[in-house]
Amino acid sequence: MSKTFYIETFGCQMNAHDSEKVIGTLERQGYAQVQDEADAGLIVYNTCSIRDKAEQKVFHRLNEYKRMQGEGKRFAVIGCVAQQEGEKIFEKAPYVSLVAGSASYRNLPQMLDRLEAGERRITGLDDRQTDETFETEFTARTNPHRGYITIIEGCDKFCAYCVVPYTRGKERSRTSASVLAEARRIVDEGYTEIQVLGQNVNSYRDPSGRMSFAELLTALGQMNGIRRVRFTTSHPRDFTRDIVEAMDATPTLCDHIHLPVQSGSTAVLQAMQREYTREWYLERMSWIHGAKRDISITSDMIVGFPGETDADFEQTITLLGAVRYDSVFAFKFSPRPNTPAVAMEDSIAEEVKTERLRILNERQREIQREHYGRHLNQVLECMVEGTNPARGQVVGRSSQNKTVNFVMQPGQPAPAVGSYLPVRITRTLPNSLVGEAEAGPVFVPEQRQRSPLVVLQ
Ligand code: 5AD
Ligand code: SF4
């Protein structure tokens, strides 16, 4: 087998960052990444299983791989569908040699040795009980602006609709010392923005007992060289007031919280086993609305959960108005294997789900159109991500994670990617902002080596 690999990644940010660590591990073992699957000795497929018959899509893609079989070519299926389908993958796609879920990636070097030795049925399907996390210094950081750090893996929440506790295993955190050491390393490489990740990031519990989640955020925010710290995804159940207090006290903690509510109806939340009520959630919103800075709030929502009535759905719509989110990712409920909700009758007709999704998105768009208006004439610090030459615009990102398209002052040079500069907002749209660079201080971080970008679907 030639020591080249091609990797394809689906799913959430945790999965994308897992791929960065898998790429780093492969490179460490002497593999070189190629951008064309035809050139690869090893094809790695990092899968997601969150919604919509994901396993069918995976098997469909594996069928396409069948045609690519060739001298010495090997296939590895990893991630959430790998964990969920396990050895069934070998039955349906016998040309696959390695099937591994994320809780087994720490054993990847040994699995690769076995693959190279010619073994054709290698599994990493640890049960959900492992206490270990995937920690590696070999991470191919593919985002040139943001360094990701996973601080907590797995999930113990068992929401009735969700596959994650089954695919990613038990909740387990890294020590604060190890997280801070990784942050120090990547800041020394030149990153100025860090995003800490976890399926429930704020359920973080330092195994050494030294720091709470809010204290860890503060320590990251105070680290020399760090300009922005983000965290995602938070869970309302574990959302404590000290997180907002930490944000108040530490300006480098970005003005954004992603706090998925899933439904505005307490009855539906209960059926979902979310373990909070509408009022509990709204109380947390009031803490955030009461913060010293304008903190952007975003959410995920599910429509058409089994038993959701018109009145329940109406509660979700009124919640949109009460919170005034800056963005909502809304999904139709889809029954997933192994979850309690799969045994409930999927009682809401597809047309009703579609209609509820449409109403929700429409209402949210109205809210955003109006709510984004608050930024008009504000001066926001933007990090430059690139340029849009066709429009003569620079593309930047605000602390609230909003896209800002802006022009430079006449005669002002184009800013370096990764630099920060003040931008006055001249126009607001429902999903982005438009502005002009101000003649203020520009911060340009030191240059660093950059890895090629992973193409995310
Ligand atoms: N059906 C629909 N949406 C789901 N999500 C998770 N599981 C399901 C499911 N079975 C959504 C939730 C979660 C987001 C990542 O995906 O809103 O927050
Ligand atoms: Fe997909 Fe969930 Fe797995 Fe992320 S944790 S890859 S969203 S199934």
How high is the mean pLDDT of the chain?
Answer: 93
Which residue(s) pair with 435 in the sheet?
406, 425
- For residue 423, what is the enclosing H or E element? strand 420-428
User: Does residue 182 carry a pLDDT above 60?
Assistant: yes
State the pLDDT at residue 445.
Answer: 77
| pLDDT over threshold 50, residue 450 | no
Residue nearest to atom 2 of ligand 2 (CA): 50
Residue 401 has a pLDDT of 97
Phi, psi of 384 (to 5 degrees): -75, 125
Reply yes or no on whether the pLDDT at 52 is more than 90. no
Q: Binning pLDDT at 50, 70 and 90, where does residue 457 land?
A: very low
HEC profile of 209-260? CCCCHHHHHHHHHCCCCCCEEEEECCCHHHCCHHHHHHHHHCCCECCEEECC
Residue with tokens 């960065």: 20
Mean pLDDT of 254-277: 98
β 296-303/393-398 pair status: unpaired
Strands 327-332 and 296-303: parallel
Residue closest by Cα to atom 5 of ligand 2 = 164
CA of residue 333 to ligand 2 center, whole Å = 15
Cross-strand bridge partners of residue 222: none
Asked if pLDDT for residue 335 goes beyond 80, the answer is: yes
User: Ligand 2 center to residue 435 CA distance, Å?
Assistant: 35
Residue 160 CA: which ligand is closest? 1
> Is pLDDT above 90 for 346?
no
Averaged pLDDT, 383-408: 93
Domains of the chain (ranges, CATH numbers): 4-131 (3.40.50.12160), 147-373 (3.80.30.20), 376-437 (2.40.50.140)
Residue range 202-240, pLDDT digits in tens: 999 999 999 999 999 999 999 999 999 999 999 999 999
Ligand at shortest distance from the CA of 83 = 2
Q: What pLDDT, on the 0 to 100 scale, is given for residue 288?
A: 98
Best residue for ligand 2 mutational test, from 12, 81, 334 (most atoms within 8 Å of Cβ): 12
pLDDT at 319 over 60: yes
**Ligand 2 pocket mutation, candidates 9, 14, 51, 57, criterion most atoms within 8 A of CB:** 14
Q: Please tell me the number of the ligand nearest to residue 46's CA.
A: 2
CA diameter of the chain: 64
**Burial per residue of 253-272, b for 16 or more beta-carbon CB atoms within 10 angstroms, e otherwise:** bbbbbbbbbbbbbbbbbebb
Regarding the beta carbon of 401 and ligand 2, being less than 6 Å apart is answered: no
Per-residue confidence (pLDDT) for residue 33, from 0 to 100: 96
Tell me the pLDDT tens digit for each residue of 14-23.
999 999 999 9
Residue 347 has pLDDT above 90, yes or no: no
Average pLDDT, integer, range 355-377:
98
Read off the pTM: 0.94
Q: In 67-208, where do the E strands start and end?
A: 74-79, 96-100, 122-124, 146-153, 172-173, 193-198
* Pocket around ligand 1 at a 6 A CB cut-off: 50-51, 161-162, 260, 262, 300, 302, 331, 333-334, 336
Nearest CA to ligand 2 atom 4: 12
Residue 301's H or E segment, with its range, is strand 296-303
The pLDDT score that the predictor gives to residue 455 is 33
Q: Who contacts 162 (Cβ-Cβ below 8 Å, separation ≥6)?
A: 50, 155, 336, 339
Task: Say what the pLDDT of residue 141 is.
Answer: 86
pLDDT at 144: 80
The ligand 2 atom at the shortest distance from the C-alpha of residue 102 is 3
Res. 142 pLDDT band, cuts 50 70 90: confident
Reading the block at residue 134, the tokens are 């995937």
